[in-house]
Structure 1
Amino acid sequence: MYSFGSILKNLRTSKKLSIDQLVKQINEKYNMKISKSMISRYENDEAEPKMNMVRIFADFFDASPEYIMGLEESDKKSVSKNSKAIETIAAHLDEKNITDEKMKNIIKYIDFIFQDED
């Protein structure tokens, strides 16, 4: 089941940030005035963020808004970020009958290869 709070907390802890650190960095980077209590309310699923906050969290954590909203499983923006490269790869494989499922697997493999570089 989707939980914005658990996604946000997982993203925050994966970056080894405390709530205080997250608040400070977001407020500085985006000229915001979000409070520690608001982050806590989000993480405890006591409040849902507005779309502008979803975009800010997505940008801050380098994740897609769709992931933050629980609409996709991967937190990587690599598909949209690298769409030109993917189009190029697809063009080279055009005659190979690449299905959408095969392309997803190719993208997952590429992400796997470069996962230690993030």
Structure 2
Amino acid sequence: MYSFGSILKNLRTSKNLSIDQLARQINDKYETKISKSMISRYENNLAEPKMDVVRIFADFFDASPDYIMGLEDGSSRDIKKKSKAIETIAAHLDEKEITEEKMKDILKYIDFIFQDDK
């Protein structure tokens, strides 16, 4: 299991944000006063966030608080996202017969298209 700090850093870097940029965006969006030094302390596991701060980061990164805290792995979150994607795709393909194999191909293609966004 990962620590809050390592997860926060991974989420921040995956969005190509510096600590300063993250602090500014979080503070602007949520009207908070989380300093860049505090974010650095979180990332280096020198401080534990309060629950309200966890919720802010979870909302900002579109993740569950359990995931941010390292209590849930990304796989259950990914499964929820994929099932929602399947429902959305199926809604657009109402009259077409979509087999499980075709759906797997569609999801592979979607992953292929967005591979540079990771």
1:23 aligned partner: 23
Give, in angstroms, the shift of residue 2 of structure 1: 3.0
User: TM-score normalised to the size of structure 1?
Assistant: 0.66
Cα root mean square deviation, aligned: 3.1
The residue aligned with 2:67 is: 67
Which residue of 2 is the match for residue 79 of structure 1? 80
Shift of 1:111: 7.3
- Residue in structure 1 matched with residue 39 of structure 2 by the alignment: 39
CA deviations 1:29-66 (Å, max 9, x no partner) are 00011101100000000001111111110110111111
Which whole-Å CA distance do the structure 1 matches of 2:106 and 2:5 have between them?
Answer: 29
| Structure 1 unaligned regions, length at least 5 | 86-108
Q: How many residues align?
A: 97
Matched-pair contact (CA < 8 Å) for 1:64–1:77: no
Partner residue of 1:6? 6
User: For residues 14 and 112 of structure 1, do their structure 2 counterparts lie closer, same or farther at Cα, with a shift above 3 Å needed?
Assistant: farther
Instruction: Provide the rounded CA distance (Å) in 2 between the counterparts of 1:112 and 1:35.
Output: 40
TM-score by structure 2 length? 0.66
Q: Which runs of 4+ in 1 moved over 3 A?
A: 75-78, 109-115
Q: How far apart, in 1, do the equivalents of 2:4 and 2:14 lie?
A: 15
Instruction: Write the deviation string for residues 4-40 of structure 1: whole angstroms up to 9, x where unpaired.
Output: 1100000000000000000000000000111011000
AA in 1 matched with 2:43 = E
In the TM superposition, residue 73 of structure 1 has moved relative to its aligned partner by: 1.3
Aligned 8 A contact 1:62 1:77 in 2: no
- Residue 95 of structure 1: aligned partner: none
Can you list the C-alpha shifts for 1:56-82, whole angstroms capped at 9, x where unaligned? Answer: 101101111111011111174772894
Percent identity, aligned pairs only, is 68
Structure 2: 5+ residue stretches without partners: 88-104
